[in-house]
Amino acid sequence: MNVIEKDQSTASENAVLAQMFELGHEQVVFCNDKATGLRAIIGIHNTVLGPALGGTRMWNYASEEEALRDVMRLSRGMTYKAAVSGLNLGGGKAVIIGDARTQKNEALMRRFGKFVDSLAGKYITAEDVGMTTLDMEYIHNETEHVVGIPETLGGGGDPSPVTAYGVYMGMKASAKQAWGNDLLNGKKIVVQGVGNVGSHLIDYAIKEGAKVWVSDIFEDKIKAITDKYPGVKVLQPHEIFDAEMDIYAPCALGATLNDDTINRLKCQVVSGAANNQLLDEEKHGNLLVEKGIFYAPDFLINAGGVINCFAELEGYNRERAIAKTEHIYDTTLNIYKLAADQGINTNRAAMQLAEKRISDIGKVKLGY
Ligand code: NAD
């Protein structure tokens, strides 16, 4: 067996390397600590544009393989997100395996912070599902390479409100594309997942006079919303894809756009915060086009959070972060145009724009 054959067989036998090869990852770091019970994976996808920045997700994954798949997909998404948003950042992400409601504590977070620190700035962490600014504060005890720390510590705080603002911008641009104007007044919007981002998105939608329906797997989350906005209606998680609506806003977890759901969806716009909404980017991106649904690419419109985090690295200024996030409106319209001009789906169009930037700026970096 020559060296190449040997390398290929090794990759196919080893699921991690095979996935890294397929998705183009630079590095994957497995973290294990018996004393604190920490089990985490850090995925560093691409650092051509800058350090790999991306949040840490704590989730009760059914298996190690599921956690790995998630971190691989999420970290790759961050590369595209930073690139399409014009940020000098690469893509990375981390997952901590465990129940954020029962298994999280200061020691676990700080131990994770030490692992982040060991990467010497190649990976910068932040918040994602299951994490809070307090967790970022714990992590910050062990490393400088964390953003999303509280404003009292010089950080930008929870990036979720800025993420929600960007999603709102993408939603309005999509409404303009679908209906000729960007007003959400009277539109029926279904928000799936009323957590950090979903709850702020609801705020924007209601202020504009939209009819909002929500769904979540936790009763207390739903109650917090219906207490605040008595006019909001509730759907059970399994009812979402059969409900009549104008806009579906996925703000929970990924892969909710698949063969089953797209064929049931009765909406004209999909615009939400969740990462990796398309189970199969090309197939399901095309299926949405066939169904006449305007899809605002997730990694483009949910970039407000990373824009806010980047602002933190530059010396935090909220107004600047918000102003940059507002550009998502124009970029989304531009993506609809690019997609239509080239006869491709919007996800592909946004990816092309991101890939072009990575390639162009990669060339600049070759010189001194
Ligand atoms: P979160 O954990 O605060 O909220 C997610 C909510 O979804 C929770 O309330 C959860 O109970 C609910 N949920 C989970 N499964 C569900 C289901 N099947 N049906 C209905 N609800 C369900 O997380 P978040 O910070 O609001 O992030 C939401 C999504 O947006 C995630 O995919 C995240 O990766 C993405 N995102 C978040 C940010 C940010 O700034 N927080 C930035 C970019 C992308």
% the chain with pLDDT above 70: 95
| Average pLDDT score over residue span 12-30 | 88
**Cβ within 8 Å of residue 298, ≥6 positions away:** 77, 250, 272, 273, 274, 275, 276, 277, 278
**Protein residue closest via CA to atom 24 of ligand 1:** 196
Q: What is the pLDDT of residue 158?
A: 84
Residue the block writes with tokens 């279904």: 190
Q: Which CATH architecture has domain 25-72+91-149?
A: 3-Layer(aba) Sandwich (3.40)
Q: Would you please indicate which residues are annotated as catalytic (active-site) residues?
A: 93
Summarize pLDDT for 106-142 with one digit per residue, the tens. Answer: 999 999 999 999 999 999 999 888 999 899 999 999 9
Q: What phi, psi does 44 have (nearest 5°)?
A: -110, 110
Q: What is the pLDDT of residue 13?
A: 45
pLDDT of residue 345 exceeding 60, the answer is yes
- Separation of 9 CA from ligand 1 center, angstroms? 38
Alpha carbon distances (Å) from 55 to 71, 189, 292: 10, 27, 33
Fold match between 25-72+91-149 and 160-350? yes
Ligand 1 pocket at CB < 6 A: 127-130, 159-160, 163, 192-198, 215-218, 221, 237, 251-253, 273-275, 302, 305
pLDDT of residue 98 exceeding 50, the answer is yes
In the chain, where are the structural domains located?
25-72+91-149, 160-350
How far is residue 129 CA from its own chain's centroid? 10
Nearest C-alpha neighbor of 333 from the set 181, 160, 205? 181
Summarize pLDDT for 250-275 with one digit per residue, the tens. Answer: 999 889 999 999 999 999 999 999 98
pLDDT of residue 2 exceeding 50, the answer is no
**Protein residue closest via CA to atom 41 of ligand 1:** 160
**Cβ within 8 Å of residue 68, ≥6 positions away:** 15, 16, 19, 28, 41
Ligand 1 atom nearest residue 274's Cα: 32
pLDDT of residue 296 exceeding 70, the answer is yes
Q: Which of 253, 256, 301 for a ligand 1 pocket mutation test, highest count of atoms within 8 Å of Cβ?
A: 253
Ligand 1 atom nearest residue 158's Cα: 40
- Separation of 1 CA from ligand 1 center, angstroms? 48
Q: What is the pLDDT of residue 356?
A: 97
User: Can you read off the two tokens belonging to residue 333?
Assistant: 């319209």
Nearest C-alpha neighbor of 349 from the set 334, 361, 329? 334
Summarize pLDDT for 174-198 with one digit per residue, the tens. Answer: 999 999 999 999 999 999 999 999 9
Number of neighbouring beta carbons within 10 Å of residue 86:
17
E strands, the chain, in order: 27-33, 38-46, 52-59, 90-97, 123-127, 188-192, 211-215, 233-234, 247-250, 269-270, 294-295
Whether 294 and 268 have beta carbons less than 8 Å apart is answered as yes
Q: What is the pLDDT of residue 366?
A: 67
- Separation of 252 CA from ligand 1 center, angstroms? 4
Summarize pLDDT for 133-162 with one digit per residue, the tens. Answer: 899 999 999 999 999 888 888 889 888 999
**Protein residue closest via CA to atom 42 of ligand 1:** 305
Q: Which of 70, 197, 260, 322 for a ligand 1 pocket mutation test, highest count of atoms within 8 Å of Cβ?
A: 197
- Separation of 8 CA from ligand 1 center, angstroms? 37
Whether 328 and 162 have beta carbons less than 8 Å apart is answered as no
| Average pLDDT score over residue span 303-321 | 94
Q: Three-class SS of residue 8?
A: helix
pLDDT of residue 1 exceeding 60, the answer is no
pLDDT confidence bin for 319, thresholds 50/70/90: very high
Tell the CATH topology of 160-350: Rossmann fold (3.40.50)
Nearest C-alpha neighbor of 92 from the set 143, 37, 42? 42
Summarize pLDDT for 163-175 with one digit per residue, the tens. Answer: 999 999 999 999 9
* Mean pLDDT, the chain, whole residue set: 94
Ligand 1 atom nearest residue 192's Cα: 20
Number of neighbouring beta carbons within 10 Å of residue 257:
29
Summarize pLDDT for 31-77 with one digit per residue, the tens. Answer: 999 999 999 999 999 999 999 999 999 999 999 999 999 999 999 99
pLDDT confidence bin for 11, thresholds 50/70/90: very low
- Separation of 57 CA from ligand 1 center, angstroms? 10
Nearest C-alpha neighbor of 250 from the set 260, 259, 261? 261
